[in-house]
Amino acid sequence: MKVFHALAISALTCLAGAAMAAECGPGALGTARTITLKREAALYGANQHSALPLAQGEVVLTFDDGPSPEYTPMVLKALADQCASATFFMEGQNLRLSPDLARRVVSEGHSAGIHSDTHPHMAELSAEQQLADLQRSRAAYLAVFGIETPAYRFPFLEETPTLLDALKAANITVASIDLGINDWIPEDTTEILAERLRVSLDKAGRGIILMHDANGPTAKALPALLAVLKDKGYKVVHLEWEK
Ligand SMILES: [Zn+2]
């Protein structure tokens, strides 16, 4: 009976796996696992801080500067086609302009944090101006999602002591990066971005990948970028935060 029971469970597991694979399409990249982080004053991303607990070959997809009515839907489509979940770091000013699109991002299974209000160079602002920008972006997030943001990514990854202190006091996690593809040049082709991703992956081997959903070339290249991850055997890990 025990053997039969084990076989039955095994068959059910296979069926569930097959159903999911069919839903995602054969050969989809998929999302291998989800890490649910605490709402705490942590700092992640080996570029500046400690690394997330990821195995070799595991990556987290992140997109900054949106939501963009022009390009974010293209990014969502490419992710949905591969059943890949990502984290979007949104600007407060864009949350105010496109609240429905922001909610659509989350309703499609992705997570969201903030990325300042107007994307300034924080170090060039007074402490009061920095704190006002943070406050505006937190208020925009709260207005759109009905909860406080769990995470913050600095514009240009330029951290300041003033904001690091404020984020720590508010239990907001600072999300830096492990690797990027320098995707802000309008002339970048899909092949250039795909090659940058291959080089960055070979160097880092794992970690949080920075991309930009508000960047046209990135949105157009995303199917090819996800194919690079799949071809190289990388696994997508989705970041969530406790509610
Ligand atoms: Zn940015």
SS3 33: strand
Q: Give 155 Cα–ligand 1 centroid separation in angstroms.
A: 5
Distance CA 150, CA 217 (A): 29
Interval 69-113: pLDDT, tens:
999 999 999 999 999 999 999 999 999 999 999 999 999 999 999
Rounded to whole angstroms, the Cα distance separating 65 from 91 reads 6
For residue 25, name the pLDDT band (cuts at 50, 70, 90): confident
Return mean pLDDT, the chain.
Answer: 91
Inter-residue contact 57 to 231 (CB < 8 Å): no
> How far is Cα 79 from Cα 206, in angstroms, rounded to an integer?
19
**Residue 4 alpha carbon to ligand 1 centre in Å:** 55
What is the rounded distance in angstroms from the CA atom of residue 22 to the CA atom of residue 119? 41
Q: Kindly tell me the number of DSSP H helices and DSSP E strands found in the chain.
A: 8, 10
Q: Is the Cβ–Cβ distance between 48 and 207 less than 8 Å?
A: no
The closest of 210, 214, 215 to 186, measured between CA atoms, is: 215
- 78 Cα to the center of ligand 1, angstroms: 21
CA of 24 to the centre of ligand 1 (A): 30
Would you name the residues annotated as active-site residues?
Answer: 64, 212
Does the bond joining 67 to the residue before it have cis omega, within 30 degrees of 0?
yes
Amino acid (one-letter) located at 115? H
